[in-house]
Amino acid sequence: MTTSSKVLIVGSGPAGLTAAVYTARAQLEPIIIEGEPSSTSDQPGGQLMLTTEVENFPGFPDGIMGPELMIQMRAQAARFGADLRTEKVSRVDLSSRPFRAWVGDPEAAEPTYSAEALIIATGARALMLGVPGEDRLLGHGLSTCATCDGFFFREQRVVVVGGGDTAVEEAIFLTRFAASVTIIHRRDSLRASKIMQERAVENEKISFKWNTQVTEVIGGSKVEQLALIDTVTGETSTMDAEGVFVAIGHRPATDLFAGQLNLDENGYLAVHDGSRTTVDGVFACGDVQDHVYRQAITAAGSGCMAAIDAERWLEAQGL
Ligand code: NDP
């Protein structure tokens, strides 16, 4: 049995849930496929489920825990009648309208859902090192976002892992707070653009550890040390640090849409005129279409934009 709706939203981070609040209040009776619990960001609630305190979301002067913020957003969407489903989309077909989406067997003859408009809010995932201690200490001294968490590391020793523009940008930002910032890179030269490299080299708070990989993040309830290996000599060592920022890239969750929607030059969903994708009636919001800002508040804002765009588009179609 296929369930039909005017609007289907895929993803339940700040973007998807804000789109849900707006479309539900517009009486569009949206269905939201919120994902399934897992250890990565493609779980219900998205990346904020993996953070601890959020101090920069307006409206919470004392801060709020990331998971609590998502529980509140979800409750707000449900209050207006959004139909939230804890399941995962396995396939979509955007070649004709209504659009079709499958949950479970992607080869099933009947799709699970059909919808006139689709809002994609599948988010992105920070790439992780995959070393012992990393998962356990995420949110406890280990972070993937300096803008979000730099403030917590005033006068402390922090490390940034990576050699691209993100790593260098995060390192420079962190010098506002930290006593020292060490960039640990697996090779002996940065991938980051020349100008960013120059800024980092000129910054006296920043030092570099070249040809080095982190092999373990060590600590009890918080990050205390890193275990390192020299990629050239094989020599091992440890380094004391209170903070670690993993900045080795992000991966937007676009696999479902491969070959159906255009991507931008960074591999994120390409949008134009607000939240419109390259298929009429399909809208995108949040980190799946944003490699620049990556904030909960900008994701929420773009979720609002996608909801309004979808609502107006449906109206114009007479649907
Ligand atoms: P990049 O893919 O450019 O860089 C990732 C870095 O992480 C590389 O130095 C890579 O090493 C390293 N790395 C990857 N995997 C591992 C691993 N398992 N262990 C250790 N190190 C690892 O990602 P960014 O997020 O930095 O940038 C993405 C895009 O966004 C780029 O095009 C960038 O230019 C752009 N950007 C632009 C900014 C700006 O203009 N202000 C700011 C931020 C990003 P290696 O070099 O050896 O491959």
Residue range 121-168, pLDDT digits in tens: 999 999 999 999 999 999 999 999 998 899 999 999 999 999 999 999
* Ligand 1 closest atom vs CA 248: 7
Q: With the C-alpha atoms ordered 186, 191, 194, 197, is the resulting torsion angle positive or negative?
A: negative
pLDDT at 38 over 80: no
Contact 253, 122 (CB under 8 A): yes
CA distance linking residue 226 with residue 104, whole number of Å:
41
- Percentage of the chain beyond pLDDT 90 is 92
pLDDT at 49 over 90: no
Report the separation in Å between the CA atom of 137 and the middle of ligand 1, taken as the mean of its atom positions. Answer: 22
**pTM: predicted TM-score of the whole model, two decimal places:** 0.86
* Ligand 1 closest atom vs CA 185: 21
Residue nearest to atom 33 of ligand 1 (CA): 165
pLDDT at 90 over 90: yes
**Which two tokens mark 75?**
């409750």
Best of 191, 198, 295 for a ligand 1 pocket test (most atoms within 8 Å of beta carbon): 191
Which residues in 146-178 are b (16+ Cβ under 10 Å) and which e?
bebbbebbeebebbbbbbbbbbbbbbbbbbebb
* Ligand 1 closest atom vs CA 249: 25
- Name the residue among 91, 283, 246, 72 with its Cα closest to residue 161: 246
Best of 161, 166, 187 for a ligand 1 pocket test (most atoms within 8 Å of beta carbon): 166
Check residue 51 and give its pLDDT. 75
CA distance linking residue 6 with residue 201, whole number of Å:
53
Residue nearest to atom 32 of ligand 1 (CA): 266
Q: State the helix-helix crossing angle for 194-202 and 165-174, rounded to 10 degrees.
A: 30
Best of 147, 186, 291 for a ligand 1 pocket test (most atoms within 8 Å of beta carbon): 186
pLDDT at 208 over 60: yes
Q: Rounded mean pLDDT of 276-280?
A: 98
Check residue 50 and give its pLDDT. 74
What is the average pLDDT score of the chain? 96
Instruction: Calculate ∠ Cα 310-311-314, nearest 5°.
Output: 80
Ligand 1: which residues within 6 Å by Cβ? Answer: 129, 161-167, 169, 186-187, 191, 248-249, 266, 291
The residues annotated as belonging to the active site are 145, 148-149
Report the separation in Å between the CA atom of 135 and the middle of ligand 1, taken as the mean of its atom positions. Answer: 20
With cut-offs at 50, 70 and 90, classify the pLDDT of residue 40. low
* CB-based burial label for 49 (10 Å; 0-12, 13-18, 19+): buried
Report the separation in Å between the CA atom of 129 and the middle of ligand 1, taken as the mean of its atom positions. Answer: 13
Q: Rounded mean pLDDT of 207-231?
A: 98
Report the separation in Å between the CA atom of 5 and the middle of ligand 1, taken as the mean of its atom positions. Answer: 40
pLDDT at 41 over 70: no
How many CB atoms within 10 Å of residue 113? 22
Check residue 54 and give its pLDDT. 87
Residue nearest to atom 43 of ligand 1 (CA): 166
Report the separation in Å between the CA atom of 164 and the middle of ligand 1, taken as the mean of its atom positions. Answer: 3
Check residue 53 and give its pLDDT. 83
* Ligand 1 closest atom vs CA 213: 20
Residue nearest to atom 1 of ligand 1 (CA): 164
| Higher pLDDT, residue 75 or 51 | 75
Strand partners, 9: 32, 119
Tracing tokens 């939230």 back to the chain, one arrives at 84
Check residue 39 and give its pLDDT. 55
| Listed range (49-58, 134-143, 269-278, 304-313) with the worst mean pLDDT | 49-58
CA distance linking residue 138 with residue 143, whole number of Å:
6
